[in-house]
Structure 1
């Protein structure tokens, strides 16, 4: 059920910011381990998440809402799923290029639709399901990297490390969305943006403690490199906080599957960043895949009207 029209602009901004953040984080991943590169977005995102919450409270001063008993457990579940998803996505980057790695993870749209139906009872209009199918076809076309493949070749491609880690990343991102939506539903009151920001702060703090403790115990040298690399890492933290604030607002105000379907527009921004920022070559098949993704978003929006 859609509770506010804010979900649509929030989702579109989230897609753009996340593509930018992922592009910067990919550069960070070249000099850090997988766990260290993942920690960057949480550790350096804390001050910006607190600023977003504080700034919102200054502009809209109201009493803090009641917090339900499931708030922290769902924040923890969503945060842990996001840590796993992010690490898997960084692993996918190490196997293939930026655009293809992100394309595999975008299967989260269909995975999220199925999981949100099973776990949250959310239902979609047939046009939205058509949009999912169109979007999945688009990301699968992107995943071929411009190669002509028969059915057998395509099935073999899905068993490659980049495909496995990317699809697994999409699964855990879908679980993240469900956990965050349930956490926002545990916050009382009608202000869903405030609920999203409260969930953001709590989640980022727990993620930093979890992955920071892991890194200190397993890779103490990497922690020093995370702290020394603060200039670029600070950019990742800022973009992560902004992107997550928008995603969480979307999850708080609209069905998870609908937000994730429209969020596939991130692929368009990803291709732009991959081409202009990372200097990666754009193929004709990627343009065709992009058109399918955009068509899927359009169908999903028609189904939500």
Structure 2
């Protein structure tokens, strides 16, 4: 029987599977909806599903609807706004690089989470952790670079975009975990589900107002493409539900490190859906990223 202390492991693997499916659908919708339109569908169409998840959780646990502390709101804002930025940058990177390679960039999030912990929280970085970070960074460089002169510089923009997206996802993970653990008097399942509902509400509100003011035609297109958007929204809410459950049980760095299994899932999606084979150099770089983050955890 699985202990509650290790439940974050199946939660994380389930979330990674859901996230690959959602990313693939969002990538396909970027063309007709644009970057921010495709970003909004995960929030706009995911929000109703999160309410449904929360209702089921309340019925199953018998918990009351929580009343968050004052400390809850800054963490929620950090998580929600960082995730909006991260998702938009992720889709931009995916339009310029392959699905799998962009996913590899995003998986440097685990390393960046460790770095943010050192910078902002004073978490100690041992020599072995520094070595692990260097190995994974080398993997990113190998994956990104191209042989052939000027093409290397042409690849710089999507590389930076992917890495900045990873940094924003790292901040988002820290923010959401901070919000979840400040919810008092309820089970971890209720705290996670409650945080998800408020997070998606805030994200839907911010991005919908932005699109209404800057690109109202995009909102009309989103409603016109409601069928694929509903699926993407469901998968987004489904993945987020399990991410938040994992965040409620263990440190964000642990969750994001195990989430490296997403690279393997993404390889399958890229091969079967997008017909994007990987070069040997890209495979080597991705392998180094996986090894580096695995060493980071072992350290």
Question: TM-score over 0.5 for the alignment?
Answer: yes
Structure 1 distance, partners of 2:60, 2:129, is 36
Instruction: Single out whichever of 41-50 and 15-24 deviates more from structure 2.
Output: 15-24
Contact between 2:72 and 2:179, CA under 8 Å: does it hold in 1?
yes
Match of 1:271 in 2: 267
Cα distance, 1:118 vs. partner? 3.1
Contact between 2:104 and 2:286, CA under 8 Å: does it hold in 1?
no
Cα distance, 1:105 vs. partner? 2.5
Match of 2:210 in 1: 214
Structure 1 distance, partners of 2:23, 2:34, is 15
Q: CA, structure 1 residues 78+168, in 2 after alignment: closer, same or farther (shift >3 Å)?
A: same
Size of the alignment, in residue pairs? 296
Within the alignment, does 1:292 sit opposite 2:293 as a pair?
A: no
Instruction: Single out whichever of 25-34 and 108-117 deviates more from structure 2.
Output: 108-117
Match of 1:177 in 2: 173
- Structure 2: 5+ residue stretches without partners: none
Structure 2 distance, partners of 1:64, 1:124, is 39
Within the alignment, does 1:197 sit opposite 2:198 as a pair?
A: no
Aligned-residue RMSD, C-alpha: 2.5
Match of 2:95 in 1: 94
Contact between 1:104 and 1:163, CA under 8 Å: does it hold in 2?
yes
Contact between 2:20 and 2:265, CA under 8 Å: does it hold in 1?
yes
Which SS does the other structure have where 1:208 is aligned? helix
Q: CA, structure 1 residues 270+40, in 2 after alignment: closer, same or farther (shift >3 Å)?
A: same
Structure 2 distance, partners of 1:260, 1:157, is 29
Q: CA, structure 1 residues 61+171, in 2 after alignment: closer, same or farther (shift >3 Å)?
A: same
Contact between 2:257 and 2:297, CA under 8 Å: does it hold in 1?
no
TM-score by length of 2: 0.88
Match of 2:22 in 1: 21
- Structure 1: 5+ residue stretches without partners: none
Cα distance, 1:122 vs. partner? 4.7
Within a 5 Å distance, the mapping from 1:227-242 to structure 2 comes to: 227-242=223-238
Structure 1 distance, partners of 2:112, 2:154, is 19
Q: CA, structure 1 residues 134+245, in 2 after alignment: closer, same or farther (shift >3 Å)?
A: farther
Instruction: Single out whichever of 281-290 and 12-21 deviates more from structure 2.
Output: 281-290
Match of 1:248 in 2: 244
Q: CA, structure 1 residues 11+55, in 2 after alignment: closer, same or farther (shift >3 Å)?
A: same
Within the alignment, does 1:223 sit opposite 2:223 as a pair?
A: no
Contact between 1:132 and 1:261, CA under 8 Å: does it hold in 2?
no
Structure 2 distance, partners of 1:126, 1:248, is 31
Match of 2:40 in 1: 39
